[in-house]
Amino acid sequence: MTKPPKRLLIIAGSDSSAGAGLQADLKTAQSLGVYAQTVVTAVTAQDTRGVHAVHLVPAEIVRAQIEAALGDIGADAIKIGMLGSGAIAGAVADALRGNDLPLVLDPVPLSSSGTMLLDEKGIAILKSRLIPRALLVTPNLPEAQALVGILPDTGHALRNAAQAFALLGAVNILFKGGHGTGAMVRDVLVCGGKETIFESPRQDTAHTHGTGCTLATAIACGLALGEALPEAVRKAHAYVQEAIRRAPGLGGGSGPLGCGV
């Protein structure tokens, strides 16, 4: 009998361009050999140039999707991306109450093109109920600034931001450096008070749509497969860099990634 695959539960929005969101998450999980179930929080009309419209799924349907997924197939890890509203964020927090599966939280208060993707109530629930629940929180630089008021673009600022996240109950934080400057992309994992740096040469390309979703999902897949957190982050960082290199060059804006393996 074939051994069942490891399972990932993805809670996120749909991206009609398939560059980010659930579609990017599914592609990543499949390429890494992990079976992914999806909980749709929102349907977005977007392309490589930006988000043009957002339709939120009713909160009770979001919760029902989570309960159906966990009640039957189950999961070995969870990844949360776009939530969209306070009602949805609360429903997710309620559905996961008492659940101790490793959770990677990719906080998405706004899109890379600047569209707000979470209301004030949602941000409050993110801070009070979901950040403390997560094994890992993965903000990029603008997301960190939006959540704790500190842009972690220097070593000193990053340590201050890490302390601010810790005050919110964050156990481990990965500061993603894709929005930074300089010749190197630097992701910094703050785990148990220790900083671990993952660096790669910055690639000169516009095709980086969905890097944050892909990174968080690759980490969650590693955790589902039993990897320790630093190793899961190391592999995910390398996966994303390879996915950028293999980008198919689609669209007139920030195009989707390729496969990282």
The tens digit of pLDDT for each residue in 26-56 reads: 999 999 999 999 999 999 999 999 999 999 9
The whole-chain average pLDDT of the chain stands at 93
What gap in Å lies between CA 79 and CA 55, rounded to an integer?
A: 21
Q: Give the containing element (helix H, strand E) for 13.
A: strand 7-15
Model confidence over 215-224: pLDDT tens digits?
A: 999 999 999 9
What gap in Å lies between CA 204 and CA 218, rounded to an integer?
A: 23
DSSP bridge partners of 173: 137, 190
Domain coordinates of the chain in residue numbers?
7-245
- Tell me which CATH code domain 7-245 carries: 3.40.1190.20
Residues found in the chain? 261
The two three-digit tokens of residue 184, written as one number:
């190197």
Model confidence over 132-190: pLDDT tens digits?
A: 999 999 999 999 999 999 999 889 999 999 999 999 999 999 999 877 777 888 999 99
Residue 116 pLDDT greater than 80, yes or no: no
pTM for this model (two decimals): 0.95
- Name the pLDDT band for 102 (thresholds 50, 70, 90): very high
Catalytically annotated residues: 176, 208, 210-213
